[in-house]
Structure formats: structure tokens, C-alpha cells
Amino acid sequence: MIPWSRRLGGIGESAIETRLKYFSTPLKTQPEHDEGIDFYCVLEGDRSLPSRLFLIQAKGTSYFDKAWSRSFDKRIVQLWLNQLCPVYLVAYDEVGKQCYWMSIEENRDKLTEFLASDKKTIRLTISKTSVLEEGKNADFVRRINEDLKSVNFRTNLIRGTPQLEGEGYVRRFRTLVLPDTLIGNIREGVRTSMNYLIYNSLYRKDINNAYILCKFLTEFDTEHYDHFVLVGNICKLLNRPDEALSNYQKAIDICKGDKNWNALKGPADSSIEDIIKSIEEEMDKLWDSCKEKNEFMTTP
């Protein structure tokens, strides 16, 4: 005999799925893979969003007064927050024959604080203010669209490519306190983007702009030797031998301080000793060239 609690869960899922079909295409997860997620849904309508996927955790209950509450293991809440699409907790009231929902993404900050506590579970509450009705879901769809934008913003932030918020001519930055991992991702994104801009300037023979960009990069990120080799090469093009030599020497100093390169490099990558040797050879060639031209050099 199937327990009532299990049958109620199935009844709740069916009622919720029926309502979801009015504005999305829901796909039920397989029973062995439904821990924390019951439906994968694709939002109908606006196709301008990068993703229209959202997830549903469905629950059925016979006890829904002014609100419904349940404690969830932290592991499940963390699973929801880790998704690259918004998650919604939806409860079906078997007595009132109605469905109510809450957005996990909308409550991200609060849930993140709860995860940092010593408690093993997090209690979530759904009120009767957010109703999932058949054919009348403008508020829910509006929330999904807002959450999709929020998740897209967060995903880009994780990838190191933060975006401005808003639409039209005037857009704004979102003020955030960033964890160290995200700071590292964004800095790496800046470094990569700057390299593309520098080489683009070089291809266009805009050497002065390449120099300006590369100087900024060496000040922004002082830990990568290749920035200083690149600005040294650009200085050679601008006939600034002293500045070129200074940057080459800085690149060598960075290489000598890198104790992990040889252990972490790939099979096809040069050893740190070979890199240093190649920079020193470049310095020697520059020095010899300047002597032949009788150009002023401060140091050999």
C-alpha cells in the first residue's frame, strides 16, 4: 500500500505541472535523480534572454494555513543556490486545491547567511501571497524573468565578465562585496581583455595606444612576466631602449621568483630557465643594436 504522504506528493506534482504548462514546458525529472529538483522548465515567450530554463521543487501538503513551512537540509539549499538557472519552491495545498511559490534566487542573500550558521537545516516559509494559478501567472512569470537576469548577471560575474544593469542608454553598476574567488576571476578577465585590445592595436599599427594599454596592464597586474616582455617589445618599436631594457629586467625578476613554473607547466611549455635565457638574449640584441647606432643607453 502506498503511504498517503507519497500519494500526496504525486498529487501535488501533478497539480503544479498542470499550472506550469500554461506558460512553460515542464519536464519531470527521473525518480532516481529528483533530489532537490522535480521539474526542469523552459519559459515560453521572451526569447531574447540567454537562457529561459528554470527549476521547480514541488511539495504537497494537507496543512496550509496562512503559510507553509518546512526545514530543508543545507545540502539541498546549497544545491539550489549553485544552479545556473533560478529555482522555485512550490507547495500544493491539497485542502484549498491551490499552489503557492517562493523564489530561491530572490532570497539568495538571506539563504547564504543561513548557510554560514551552525544549524544543519534551513526553514523556508511560503505565504499565500504568491499564487500559482491556472492561466493567471503574470507575477510568477515576471519574477522568473527578473531571476533569469539575476542569474545571468551572477554567471557572468563568476566567469569574470561582469555586466552593467538596466536597458537603454543609461545603465548602472551593481554595488557588491565580492568574494576573493570572484575578484580573481574578474582580474583574469581584465587581463585577458587587455591583451586582446593591445594586440588589436598592434595589428592596426597603433603603437602608441598599444603602449598606453600595456603600461596600464603592467600596473594593474604586476605578477605576470609576459606583460613586461610585451611592453618591452612595444618600447623597442617606439625607440625607447632604456625603458625596454627596464621592462625586460622586470620580467626576468618575476621569472626568477616563480618557484612553481617548472612543476606546473605543460609538456610543451618552456622551462623558466629557457624563458629567462630568451629575454636575456633579447636584451643583448637590443644593447648591441644601440651600440651600433651610437644611441644613448644608461646601463648595459
Is residue 38 domain-shared with residue 139, that is, in the same domain?
yes
CATH code, 256: 1.25.40.10
pLDDT digits (tens, 9 = 90+) for 160-183: 888 887 778 888 887 776 777 788
CATH code, 80: 3.40.1350.10
Q: Cell digits for 198? A: 593591445
Is residue 197 domain-shared with residue 289, that is, in the same domain?
yes
Question: Given phi > 0 = left and psi -120 to 50 = alpha, else beta, which region is 97?
Answer: left
Q: What is the pLDDT at residue 174?
A: 77
Q: What is the pLDDT at residue 181?
A: 78
Mean predicted confidence (pLDDT) in 282-290: 90
Residue 164 within any structural domain of the chain: no
Write down which residue in 123, 158, 193 finishes a domain.
Answer: 158
Residue 33, SS3 per DSSP: helix
Q: Number of C-alpha atoms within 13 angstroms, CB side, residue 70?
A: 18
Residue 188 within any structural domain of the chain: yes
Which DSSP symbol is given to 219? H
Q: Cell digits for 63? A: 496543512
CA distance 47 to 101: 24
Helical segments of the chain, H only: 4-20, 74-82, 108-115, 138-158, 180-203, 207-220, 225-237, 241-257, 261-264, 272-293
Beta strand 53-61 with 87-93 is: parallel
Q: Cell digits for 264? A: 606546473
Q: 265: pLDDT confidence band, cut at 50, 70 and 90?
A: very high
Is residue 154 domain-shared with residue 9, that is, in the same domain?
yes
Tell me the pLDDT of the chain averaged across its residues.
88
Cβ contact 77:115 at 8 Å: yes
Tally of domains within the chain: 2
Query: Higher-confidence residue: 83 or 228?
Result: 228
Residue 242 has pLDDT above 90, yes or no: yes
Sheet holding 98-103, edge to edge: 24-28, 39-43, 53-61, 87-93, 98-103, 131-132
Instruction: Please give the torsion angle defined by the CA atoms of residues 259, 260, 265 and 267, in that order, rounded to the nearest 10 degrees.
Output: 70
Q: Cell digits for 280? A: 636575456
Residue 166 within any structural domain of the chain: no
C-alpha pair distances (Å), 193 with each of 6, 68, 115, 217, 247: 53, 48, 35, 10, 21
Is residue 13 domain-shared with residue 116, that is, in the same domain?
yes
Q: 34: pLDDT confidence band, cut at 50, 70 and 90?
A: low
* Residue 272 structural domain: 180-293
